[in-house]
Each structure stands twice: as C-alpha cells, then as structure tokens.
Structure 1
Amino acid sequence: MRLINSLIRTLVFIVLAAAILAGGWLAYFLNTPLSIDAYPKIFSLRQGSTLKAVSRQLVNQGVLPEPWSFWLLARATGHGSDIKAGSYQLTEPLTPMLLLDKLVKGDFHLSVVTVIEGWTFKQMRDALDRNENLQHDTQGMSEQQILQKLGIQATHAEGLFFPDTYFAALGSSDLIILKQAHAVLKRHLDEAWAERAADLPYQSPYEALIMASLVEKETGHESDRPMIAGVFVNRLKKGMRLQTDPAVIYGLGEHYDGNLRKADLTTDTPYNTYTRAGLTPTPIALPGLHALQAALNPARTDALYFVARGDGSSHFSATLDEHNRAVNKYIRGK
C-alpha cells in the first residue's frame, strides 16, 4: 500500500511538473516576439487549410520556428477555425498572440478573392462586390461593358474566368482580378487544347470550354469527370441529346426555385439539352482545370448514360436497359 501511494505521489508530481513546464513554455512563447530573418516579411495562407496546415505553412515561410506552440495557442484561445486565408505582411516584430490576432482579423497585405470551381460568373461578381479591399469599378456595368473594358472579344462572360485564388494590391480595381482570371483561363484552355485527344466533336477551344462547364456541373468527383466527358462525347458523335440537368437549370435562370420539374425538362430554352441537340450556346459555369482536362481528354468508353449513386459518384451504362436498372436501384430504390 505504501508503495502504491508513493507511485501515485510520483505520478502526480510528474504531471504537475509537466503542466508547469508546458505553462511556462506557453507563457514564454506568448510574450516573446517572433524571430523573423528580415522585414517586411510577406507570407500567405492557402484557402481551405486546417490549423495544422496553417502552422506548417507559417514554419515553411519562416514566420514560426516550429508549428506546435502556435497550434496549441490557437486551439486554447478557440480561434483554430477562425484564421483567414490570404496574403499577409509583417513590418515589425510581433508576439505569437498578435500574429494570431492579425490572422483572425484577416489583416491582409493584399486583396484576396477566391473563385470556386463551378461558380457562375454572377457568383464571381457577387464575391468581388462583397470584397471590402477592392475598388468596385464593375458595379452597375453590364456583362458586355465588362468584356469591353477587359478587351475580351466575346458576347457572353460565362466560363471566361478561371476559378482560383487571386491577389491584388489593397484598393485595386476589381477589373484587375477579372483580367488575371481571364488570362489564367486562356492559358489553361490553350494548353489543354494543344494536348487534346484526336477525333473530338469540337470545332473550337470555346466549344471545349462549354463541354468543360457541363462536366464541372455534373459531378464533384474528380475521378468521374473523364467518364462523364466520355459519355457526352459519345452522345454528341451519335447525334443523341446530352440531357444534362445543370444546363436546363442554367437556362431557367432566376425562375429556378431549387426544384427541377418535369415541365422544366420539356420547356424549350437555348440551354435545354432535352429539347435541343448539341452543346449549349455558352458555358454554364466557370470550369476548373480537371474539368478542362477531362473535356479535352475524355475517357475511352462505350457508356452513353450515367446516374448519380447518391454518394456524389456516378454509375455509367452502355445500354438503356442497364441504365434503367441503375436508375431503379439508385434513384427509385427498387
């Protein structure tokens, strides 16, 4: 019994000593200015990063000596999920606590705009309008006026801007972000077009861009995109209608209330791929790189149909009978 009590006292002592040491180290860490090699120090945090990833990025860019103390600080203060992605600048020594405060407030060095794959151009414009660090020169402009300002020879803006994270000096015009996004889209589209597969049913890079937007909106699964592109290419070659719901929804515009009805599929619009053959007249969204690559290098497949499994992936079928069985299984639950 005496031995057990002695072990318990020893264990308690060790735990208390460890807590005191950890508390002492954290107090030292909190109150000691960070050692930065040179000022101004510019660094950036990537969109969608976890707290652990943020800590590693700060270490890799020479802001922190090691990741765990900052990780513990952010967790202990309840700000682990409040850090904002973007570009930052340090002009003087800061303690870790002041650094955390800067990251939580989003005290950016540059204006940061993140455009999401699959957004429409309208959603991109809304994001630009909400950004308080930009000058909103495009507010009140029509699409045609924006395209003219940017020197883009096109009649529709949809699909002409690449989804990514963009940076510009504080107070910059939102036209600068749009110019960057169009230039990146053109570069990726030109590269993908130059490396395209043979015998594709596209007459121009713009038609490939339209296909990429349809692929982008049909699935969030990167691995399914080449197969979906393969199905659409097969249907185009056979003269079959694409029958893709996202295109119909795009054509409904503000009349779409979140519920696609049978009547919507039979009501003709330029974007109704149930009533009209071929590609839609314009892209229906801003496609990302994987969708572009899938559209220009689709899977070689016999599939002509696909249906959502309910988990984000799709089941592909070569015959209508097989497709109907898949629909019964995944949609009707039979």
Structure 2
Amino acid sequence: MHTLKRLLFYAFFATILLIGWFYLHVHSSITLPVKPYEFSIRHGSNLKQTAQQLADAGVIHTKWSLILLARYLNLESAIKAGDYLLTENITQIALLNYLTKGDAKQHEIRILEGSTFAQLRKTLNEHPAIQNHTAGLSDPEILRLIGAAESAAEGLFFPDTYFFVRDSSDIEILQRAYRTMQNHLQTSWESRTGSLPLTSPYEALILASIIEKETGLESDRAEIAGVFTNRLRKGMRLQTDPTIIYGMGEQFNGNLRKQDLLADQEYNTYTRAGLPPTPIALPSLASIRAAVNPAETDALYFVAKGNGESQFSTNLADHNKAVNKYQKLHK
C-alpha cells in the first residue's frame, strides 16, 4: 500500500513538473535563427508538417511542443497558409496565435483597365506567388471552372487590385474578379437611364469596353458614351478604331490603315452595324456607369486632339474640319 501511495505521489509530482515545464516552455521566448525571419506555410500544410518545418529551421526546439499546444487550445486545424515575417523573438503561444489569426503577408496583383483577357492571363501566369492551374486551358474551359455562364471571357473580370496569400490559385483570383464585375454590372444596370439602345447588362459591358478604349480624359467619358448612344439610336455605325484593332489581333502592327477599315470582320464597326459580338477589353466602373448613364448631347462624332481631350461635333462637316485640324497638328 505504501509503495502504491509512493508511486502515485511520484506520478503526481512528475505530472506537475511536466505541466510546469510545458507552461514555461511555451511561454518562454524563442530565439530566431536570423532577424528578421521570413517563412512560408504552403496551402495544404497540416499542423505536423508546419511544426516539423519550424523545428527543422531551428525556430522551435521540438515539433511536439507546438503540436501539443495547438491540440490543447483546439487550434490543430486553424493554421493559415501564407508568408510570415518575425522581426523579434517570440513565444510559442504567440507564434501559434500568429499562425492562426490569418495575419500572413498579403501579396497583390493589379488588373488594369483596358487590358484584354489574354493580357490578364499573362499577368497571372507571371506572378511568382500565384499557382497556375489554367495553363493550357481554353477560355471556355476557364469560364466553366469559375462557374461563368458566358461563352466568351473578354471583359468579364473587374479591373482592380486584388490581395491574396502566397500559393493562391489563378482560378480563385479569376472567380473574385468575375463576381466583382457581375455585381458592379448588375448594380449599374439597375440604375440605368431610360430609353437606352441596349437590351442587356452584357451589351452595356460591350459598350463600356469601347468607351474605356476611346477615353483619354476622364471628363470626356460620359460625352463619348453619349456619342455612341446617339449613333446606336439612329442606326449609325459606331466606326470606332479600337474594335477593328481588337479584331485584327496579332495582325495589328501599330499602324491602322485605310484598307483595315474596309476589310470586313466581326469586330469592324465601320462595315457592320451595332455592337461587336463581345467586349474588347476590361472596362472600369466609370466606363460601365457612363455606358448606362451617358451624357445628354447632340454630338455624333469625336476626334482625339492628341493631348488626351476629344473634339466633339454634331455634323459630319464640322467633324471633318476637326479631323483635318488635329491630324495636321500631329503630323
């Protein structure tokens, strides 16, 4: 009986010592291998893998202390992937708190207004912190992956700066940009002016993409939208160079010639009436709003002055004079 009591006492005493050691261990400061110390937790890494990674790097003495601490605090599956930066020594409990709060370093990617989907794909593919899951896929295959109902990808992704943690996939970012564009487009469409010559939000998106490519000065945006709206109402052809350039694709060498204006193709708004079949670029929110709320104007023509501004005209004679004037100025 005395032996049993002695064993129980030793076991109890050892437990107290172990608990005390563990408490002091997880609350004592870790000496970092270098300062500052930066490391990454990859997507899909579990607690054991993360603890082993930190132990191998010398950040913690043993992986088991971090594992037991996470299990005790019920944080075993709460560690977030991403890039982390430690600038000073830290306790294990503070380290675990850091890894589970989602305070990882944020990377960013900027999707530019006026860019094409091909340019967007190239930007995503070249970003070192993004996993490329769309390489080799066609545009329609990508649209199916992100849950889009449209058949053409051009113009569907909202240009903005998107933040993400390392190893996020290009599909996730495209989904976010697509949903953001749908939300902005629907909200703008619901606040559209009456009697627009547009039948759907998608047609508004097409027109917005043309406005985006034609606008050199913010103050001209609504007026340019008014010109295109007037031409659509009257059944006039849009006669806008950016659509032809888009339709030419890699054949365009930077010089738009008269023969290009006469060569019929589905994006040639000199030879075909109405809107082109798809957007030609990613429009900004300002261009979307201009497309559904154009300026009230009598103008039917405009020409670039060469300084970002446009000269607007209500008749062809005045437009031709403006064209001659500004073409001579820039020859």
* Same fold at TM > 0.5: yes
Confirm or deny: 8 A CA contact 2:158 2:181 kept in the other structure.
Answer: yes
Distance 2:190 2:329 in 1: 44
Secondary structure at 2:108 match in 1: strand
Distance 1:332 1:276 in 2: 29
> In structure 1, what is the equivalent of residue 251 of structure 2?
255
Q: CA deviation at 1:89?
A: 6.2
Q: Which stretches in structure 1 are left out of the alignment for 5+ residues? A: 1-32, 34-86, 95-107
Map 1:111-190 → 2, pairs under 5 A: 111-190=107-186
Secondary structure at 1:331 match in 2: helix
Distance 1:261 1:88 in 2: 50
Secondary structure at 1:231 match in 2: helix
Q: CA deviation at 1:90?
A: 4.9
How well do the aligned residues superpose, as a CA RMSD in angstroms?
Answer: 2.0
Q: Which stretches in structure 2 are left out of the alignment for 5+ residues? A: 1-34, 36-81, 90-103
- Percent sequence identity is 55
Q: Which amino acid aligns with 1:253?
A: G
Are the structure 2 counterparts of residues 305 and 88 from structure 1 closer, same or farther at C-alpha, using a change threshold of 3 Å?
A: farther
Distance 2:84 2:139 in 1: 35
Q: CA deviation at 1:325?
A: 1.3
Map 1:35-184 → 2, pairs under 5 A: 90-93=85-88, 109-184=105-180
Q: 1:266 aligns with which of 262, 269, 274?
A: 262
Q: CA deviation at 1:333?
A: 3.5
Q: Which amino acid aligns with 2:233?
A: K
Q: CA deviation at 1:88?
A: 8.5
Q: Which amino acid aligns with 2:298?
A: D
1:276 aligns with 2:268: no
Distance 1:279 1:88 in 2: 46
Distance 2:223 2:295 in 1: 5
Q: Which amino acid aligns with 1:172?
A: S
Distance 2:122 2:283 in 1: 17
Q: CA deviation at 1:290?
A: 0.6
1:297 aligns with 2:293: yes
Distance 2:108 2:246 in 1: 28
4+ runs deviating over 2 angstroms: 87-94
Q: CA deviation at 1:253?
A: 0.6
Are the structure 2 counterparts of residues 151 and 129 from structure 1 closer, same or farther at C-alpha, using a change threshold of 3 Å?
A: same
Q: CA deviation at 1:232?
A: 0.2
> In structure 1, what is the equivalent of residue 189 of structure 2?
193
Distance 2:120 2:288 in 1: 19
How many residues are paired up? 237
